[in-house]
Amino acid sequence: MSGIGDVGLAVKAKFQDRSAKIGVIGLGYVGLPLLQAFVKAGFSTIGYDVDPAKVARLMASESYIKHVPSQWIADWLAERRFTATSDMARLAEADALLICVPTPLSESRDPDLTYVEATARQIAASLRPGQLVVLESTTYPRTTRDVVLPLLAESGLRPGVDFFVAYSPEREDPGNPDFSASRIPKVVGGLDPVSLELANTLYAAAVVQTVPVSSCEVAEACKILENTYRAVNIAMVNELKVLFTRLGIDVWEVIEAAKTKPFGFQAFYPGPGLGGHCIPIDPFYLSWLARRYEMSTRFIELAGEINHSMPHYVIDRLVTALNDVGKPVRGSRVAVLGVAYKRDIDDPRESPSFKLMELLVERGAIVSYNDPHIPVLPSMRHYSVPRLASEELTADYLAAQDCVLIATDHSTYDWPFITRHARLVVDTRNATKDVAALPGKICKA
């Protein structure tokens, strides 16, 4: 491309021959799989994280995320293609810096860009000519241009000439072996045509397909659309679940019937609420942005209200189920099965299980839990729940509970065993659909 300049040409050549060093900032659920994609593609990498304990574990070939095998880390180190550090002065060592830090919501449900801003300042302190900076953290349109770029520009270097800036939204499906980071198409938007060309060249060397778009804003909006689409459709089936329950209709059977239609329908499933870092959070970035432009996003707000209400609905169903067997919720022993936000992963971020436990404790229940992937209940800043350890799922433990609440349907759970020994089961995931049980023993919620 004409206008790429000598600096850009040199960077592009290093991406093409894989001599570039790739830096990933934030070594969590997004950062580690991303590192695997670049190491597999033949790049040398460096991981940055402010938590020295994470760095120490990685340098000892130890993973702290279930779906990132420790063998990956051991292979990276053995091949001399990876090192990790908490020393942000070493940011200058990387030719590309990919930002994968958290973007949570504040208490007032506004975007909290504290981690993004801090990272951009750290990069600016050591930014050198020839570096590409890519934001991958999910955020609202114009974050890259209006928040990250001004901080990087404090370095005194010229964007699009001395250094380059792009946005490429993370796309992760934790626990799904069919969609590793290298096998998911990557949307890429650049601050300018040269930045786009360089970012597209970089990702094309490591992923199955790149999807270049005209700007950072389009790439940012793409990620918000993907997750808002899911949030709105999940809200719809959650609302229908409440309605169909009153009508005596099994919403799960309805969905199974509807998805036989080969066109015009995609199945979404109800649950006890939304979990994970993306779907419960990202739509509110768009709502916040709309308010700044004096608009309302009624679909998004309504979907948020419905999904936010689902833990309350589940607890109401649980209270009714206990009442039906002559038990008040106060003083009842309730076991929550699963605190990860979805099956077969160890990620508890925004899991509805925490809200369920909080509501049960408020009502005086004696709460315990089991999750084969989360041995100790982590503290969560938005929820007040006891510090508990996962109980062993024995026949005696199940029989001692007044109610077993299925919040996450891990594939390792033996549903016939659980329903055989539990006195009462409240199932939010249709996990017991194929289990024969006594009438009144299983309540769908």
C-alpha torsion sign, points 298, 299, 300, 306: positive
- Predicted TM-score (pTM) of the model is 0.90
200 lies in the same domain as 246: no
What angle, 0 to 180 degrees and rounded to 10, lies between the N-to-C axes of helices 251-258 and 216-246?
130
**How many CA atoms lie less than 13 Å away from 422 in the CB half-sphere?**
29
Lay out the sheet containing 366-370: strands in order across: 366-370, 333-337, 403-406, 425-427, 442-444
- Average pLDDT estimate for 421-433: 95
Same domain (yes/no): 425, 293: yes
Shared domain for 113 and 70, answered yes or no, is yes
Q: Is residue 228 part of a domain?
A: no
Q: Element (H or E) spanning 367, and its range? A: strand 366-370
Strand, coil or helix: what is 341? Answer: coil
Q: Is the pLDDT of residue 47 over 60?
A: yes
- pLDDT band with cut points at 50, 70 and 90 for residue 146: very high
CA 77 to chain centre: 27
Confidence of residue 276 (pLDDT cuts 50, 70, 90): low
What percentage of the chain carries pLDDT values higher than 90?
A: 78
Same structural domain, 284 and 416: yes
* Encoded tokens for 404: 């077993």
pLDDT of residue 179: 67
The b/e string for 234-249 (b: 16+ C-beta within 10 A; e otherwise) is: bbbbbbebbebbeeee
Triad 147, 227, 301: Cα angle to 5°: 85
Active-site hit among 100, 216, 222, 278:
278
- Residue 304 scores a pLDDT above 50: yes
**Section 345-371 average pLDDT:** 94
Q: Which of 69, 34, 46, 45 is nearest to 206 (CA)?
A: 34
Give the range of the structural domain holding residue 150, as residue numbers without chain letter: 5-214
For residue 100, give the nearest of 32, 183, 174, 199 by alpha carbon: 32
pLDDT surpassing 70 at residue 337: yes
Mean per-residue pLDDT, 22-34: 96
Q: Are residues 33 and 109 in the same domain?
A: yes
**Same domain flag for 249 and 393:** yes
- Average pLDDT of the segment spanning 113-121: 97
First-to-last CA distance in the chain?
58
Count other Cβ atoms within 10 Å, centred on residue 24. Answer: 29
Q: Is residue 231 part of a domain?
A: no
- Per-residue confidence at 17, pLDDT binned at 50, 70, 90? very high
Percentage, residues of the chain above pLDDT 70: 96
Both 25 and 153 in a single domain? Answer: yes
Q: Is residue 232 part of a domain?
A: no
Domain count, the chain: 2
378 and 335 share one domain: yes
Mutual angle of helices 5-16 and 193-204, in 10-degree steps = 10
State CA 342 to chain mean position distance: 10
Least confident of 23-27, 179-183, 407-411: 179-183
Could you read off the pLDDT of 186-199 as tens digits, one per residue?
999 999 999 999 99
- Residue 358 and residue 242 in one domain: yes
Where a domain ends, among 178, 198, 214? 214
Pair (432, 346) in one structural domain: yes
Q: pLDDT per residue over 408-425, tens digit each? A: 999 999 999 999 999 999
24, pLDDT greater than 90 = yes
Q: Which residues contact 102 (CB under 8 A, 6 or more apart)?
A: 26, 28, 115, 137, 277
Q: Is residue 221 part of a domain?
A: no
Long-range pairs of 193-197 with CB within 8 A, sequence gap ≥ 24? 193/1, 193/3, 194/1, 194/3, 194/4, 194/5, 194/8, 194/160, 194/164, 195/132, 195/159, 195/160, 195/164, 195/165, 195/166, 196/166, 197/1, 197/4, 197/8, 197/12
Give the mean pLDDT of 31-38.
96
Asked whether residue 210 carries a pLDDT value surpassing 90, the answer given is yes
233 belongs to a structural domain:
no
Q: How far is CA 216 from its chain centroid? A: 21
Strands, sheet with 44-48, edge to edge from the N-terminal-most edge strand: 82-85, 44-48, 21-25, 96-99, 132-135, 164-167, 186-190, 210-213
Q: Last residue of a domain, which of 164, 198, 214?
A: 214
Question: Which among 150, 180, 214 is the end of a domain?
Answer: 214
Specify the DSSP element, H or E, that contains 164: strand 164-167
Rounded to whole angstroms, the Cα distance separating 163 from 239 reads 49
pLDDT of residue 299: 87
Known catalytic membership, residue 222: no
Q: Is the pLDDT of residue 29 over 70?
A: yes
Burial class (CB in 10 A: 0-12, 13-18, 19+), 178: exposed
Is 220 within the bounds of a domain? no
DSSP symbol at 211: E
Residue 219 falls inside a structural domain? no
**250 or 181, which is more confident:** 250
Cα-based angle 190, 196, 197 (whole degrees, multiple of 5): 175
Q: Which of the 8 DSSP states describes residue 108?
A: T
Whether 196 and 79 map to the same domain: the answer is: yes
CATH of the domain at 385: 3.40.50.720
**298 within domain boundaries:** yes
* Section 292-299 average pLDDT: 86
Residues 179 and 275 occupy one common structural domain: no
Structure confidence at residue 290 (pLDDT): 83
According to the model, what pLDDT value does residue 439 have?
66
Cβ atoms within 10 Å of 144's Cβ, excluding its own: 29
How confident is the model over 68-74, as a mean pLDDT? 95
> Which has more confidence, 338 or 378?
338
In the prediction, which pLDDT does 1 show?
A: 44
User: Rounded mean pLDDT of 239-256?
Assistant: 96
Name the average pLDDT for the chain: 93
400, two tokens: 């001692």
What count of Cα atoms within 13 Å lies in the side-chain half-sphere of residue 439? 0
The pLDDT score that the predictor gives to residue 2 is 52
